[in-house]
Structure 1
């Protein structure tokens, strides 16, 4: 019978360290928060404005109830106050202070509560989860959104056999603009699909985020890679079926950034990196100029007009006109605009619906918080872009060892950031809800923990990813 000798060459084998039940519940709660944030429009369509507001309040109070005791006990680690994303917090503070001169005080206070809630949750997630856990939580939230979107589209097409209105309202007699529908019943007729979020452009961007997340997990040799590939195929199908020009441009930009980052990782000398930068920046400038010159036929191929489907003539001109009334400090914070408020009701109408944002995050910030707000927002995004880029292309190093392998997970922040910046040219989503949460979450995590697996928690084993133990 085999037995250990009195002089073993290695310690007896032990079971790998397991996560506590409390931490598993914490991760489940974070997944739920991410799902509700990214699919906030689904909650709105299901429960209405009051119900969505109640859900937001409940989750914010729950986050505070969980987070404050953890801060008091320094769990799972001391809170890094000095590493907070100060530019983003400065913008949040300016948004609250703007109530003093706001032209729409009610919307300012109401939407600032939304902004503050998203900010708190972003800081909370960055503090309590490691990089691996954040990526896996994003992956789980995206899977729920994609899966429920497919289920809802199938239910509408196979059971209802017709479009679905928000809150399951009864369809009125006569024609109704498709913009009012939650789901348009386009799954089998070739039209644009909207999923549970009720918006094709929003579903497209979420699908793109999902593809990026699944891709980095696949490259990191996460478990169940075949399942990840299937989810990525579903996300790619949604990206194709939503026919979102903005999402396709974002995908192209993310592909370019990914290619340059991978080339930069292989550059072994400063001179080689300089050459990559020159070629990448010069090539991007030439391509951007060429695209601008032939923008009209390209947009026509995508089914869009040369004014970006009415953005420049219908929306941006009116936003610039009102922003010019108070250029330095803006007219007052409101992200999104409240369509029922007299200041916005009937101001800009598209398809019979009052527009609730400027379809350009920089113009939206200029309208609301003026030049000062634009400066703070630019600082926040430039800081995030800078940190996320070097997080992706610099080899991990915290001692004399200079040959450690790159982690695929370090690519995710830079790819998410470039998607948000490109999307911000035609949408205002990057400055509110999940866009703002990603900005706060990634900025705080990059500043407080600039290395994957180092300085987070001394876990010997993280389920879901095959990784080398850090000595």
Structure 2
């Protein structure tokens, strides 16, 4: 007669949890989309405008189809409404645009970038998002170095877009200037522009450092990636990126000090110090701009940018409220922009200041909407970083290094936006929309319906969800599961008949 064991038995051993193939492919697609945004003009330089446009549009269509099929949980009331308002106002400008064809073309790019940002933020958890960004940045950094190495070793002379080896009228036309072994010559990477490579390299340093602080595996490899990114950042030699790095350092130190505050009023002195350093830094930069930019190898007028700003602002003054029509970037083939502003023999494609650019395109109303958009993003990302995660009475949960990413990205883009218009498109716009929407949808790392549904798709066991949609902590859920199993096995033994 069989007798049940009087001793509780543990759960039978099983294989380790593995991600489903579909979710692996989804994350791979998100990495590709992020790589497209971060690599910027590399696609145009390598394949031409038409193939790059086809790839971009096809990518947007595929992401839209995936979004419809997957139907990730989205709280529609918590969409980034200032982003929606800005995109809507840009769309309305088509009614009075002085360059309707350029407006329609660039609006399509704006729609696709916004769609991709919302898509990635909705299908990936916070940890997956940072991991995907790190993977995309590895591709950009590695290809930039390999491209410069190929030009220096194999071609041994500057290369024009389309892999054409010929002499250019001006060095600005080169895709690569063959400067890898010509120190201190500036490297341009796969983007073909040092001012685009430098902020991406700075972003890579931040993301890899966050991965290290999060306890990611292969730590030695992460240190190597940080070293490679730092090398490309220094060799790109962008004055704007150097200032952005200084701003990132100030923000990081302030956030870490804020996290150490234990009393309600203790943060006040840090806020005061932060404002003093910020305002003092801006005033010093303006008063000492000749000395600072000379030391950085740049002219005091930011390499001719003041002349560009004067031309753009004079046109903006003619239509101060509504602007001339959305066009980000400027389409050089359009008669309104063709040879309007010439720099180094090339038609300029941006105002080299996102606020000046928006003032000309969308008027004062557009500037106000953009300011509200960035204010909301900076506000949420700041408190996402400095506030301890809390959704119940427990107030001692540890901070997550992942929460530093949005506020540090905001520091990069705000500084870069003073001398470039690139925060309005490509990875700049994608990251503002993606991170801003992600904070609204998932204000706590690893907690909430969106975070939990993705974890279930990966096959992981997650904590129970309370009636309000917040997940219980994994450790408590695991303890409850073990208690349930113990209750079912550790009962008085009985005889079977």
Q: Tell me the TM-score range normalised by the shorter chain.
A: over 0.9
Give the Cα–Cα distance (whole angstroms) in 1 for the partners of residues 20 and 376 of structure 2. Answer: 35
- Matching of residues 323-334 of structure 1 within 5 Å: 323-334=316-327
SS state at 1:328 partner: coil
Q: Does 1:446 align with 2:439?
A: yes
Q: Does 1:290 align with 2:272?
A: no
- Matching of residues 208-247 of structure 1 within 5 Å: 208-247=202-241
Q: In the alignment, which residue of structure 1 is the partner of 2:383?
A: 390
Q: In the alignment, which residue of structure 2 is the partner of 1:8?
A: 8
- Offset of 1:15 from its aligned partner? 4.2
Residue 5 to residue 132, structure 1, CA distance change in 2 (3 Å) = farther
- Matching of residues 15-414 of structure 1 within 5 Å: 15-71=15-71, 75=72, 78-172=73-167, 176-190=169-183, 191-312=185-306, 314-414=307-407
Residue 389 to residue 10, structure 1, CA distance change in 2 (3 Å) = farther
Residue 231 to residue 431, structure 1, CA distance change in 2 (3 Å) = same
- Offset of 1:24 from its aligned partner? 0.4
Give the Cα–Cα distance (whole angstroms) in 1 for the partners of residues 213 and 311 of structure 2. Answer: 46
Structure 2: runs of 5+ lacking an equivalent: 460-472, 477-497
Question: RMSD across aligned C-alpha pairs, in angstroms?
Answer: 1.7
Count of residue pairs the alignment pairs up: 456
1:26-64 deviations in Å (ceiling 9; x for gaps): 000000011111113110001111111111111011111
Q: In the alignment, which residue of structure 2 is the partner of 1:424?
A: 417
> What is the TM-score of this pair, normalised by structure 1?
0.94
1:239-294 deviations in Å (ceiling 9; x for gaps): 10011000010011001100000010011112111111112212322233223221
**Is contact 1:17–1:460 with CA below 8 Å preserved after alignment?**
no
**Is contact 2:157–2:165 with CA below 8 Å preserved after alignment?**
no
SS state at 1:374 partner: helix
Give the Cα–Cα distance (whole angstroms) in 1 for the partners of residues 19 and 81 of structure 2. Answer: 32
SS state at 2:377 partner: helix
Give the Cα–Cα distance (whole angstroms) in 2 for the partners of residues 49 and 303 of structure 1. Answer: 33
- Offset of 1:340 from its aligned partner? 1.1
Residue 299 to residue 462, structure 1, CA distance change in 2 (3 Å) = farther
Give the Cα–Cα distance (whole angstroms) in 1 for the partners of residues 197 and 83 of structure 2. Answer: 26
Give the Cα–Cα distance (whole angstroms) in 2 for the partners of residues 12 and 165 of structure 1. Answer: 62
**Is contact 1:346–1:354 with CA below 8 Å preserved after alignment?**
yes
**Is contact 2:255–2:386 with CA below 8 Å preserved after alignment?**
yes
1:405-464 deviations in Å (ceiling 9; x for gaps): 00000000100011111110000011112111111101110111000000111638989x
**Is contact 2:201–2:230 with CA below 8 Å preserved after alignment?**
yes
**Is contact 2:74–2:441 with CA below 8 Å preserved after alignment?**
no
- Offset of 1:470 from its aligned partner? 5.3
Q: Which of the pair has more CA radius of gyration? A: 2
**Is contact 1:460–1:469 with CA below 8 Å preserved after alignment?**
no
SS state at 2:321 partner: coil
Residue 6 to residue 419, structure 1, CA distance change in 2 (3 Å) = farther
Give the Cα–Cα distance (whole angstroms) in 1 for the partners of residues 474 and 248 of structure 2. Answer: 30
**Is contact 1:83–1:448 with CA below 8 Å preserved after alignment?**
yes
Residue 118 to residue 217, structure 1, CA distance change in 2 (3 Å) = same
Give the Cα–Cα distance (whole angstroms) in 1 for the partners of residues 213 and 5 of structure 2. Answer: 41
1:172-229 deviations in Å (ceiling 9; x for gaps): 4xx5211111111000011000111111111101000100100111001111111111
- Offset of 1:8 from its aligned partner? 2.7
**Is contact 1:163–1:181 with CA below 8 Å preserved after alignment?**
yes
Give the Cα–Cα distance (whole angstroms) in 2 for the partners of residues 247 and 307 of structure 1. Answer: 16
> What is the TM-score of this pair, normalised by structure 2?
0.89
SS state at 2:327 partner: coil
**Is contact 2:313–2:356 with CA below 8 Å preserved after alignment?**
yes
SS state at 1:166 partner: coil
Residue 224 to residue 5, structure 1, CA distance change in 2 (3 Å) = farther
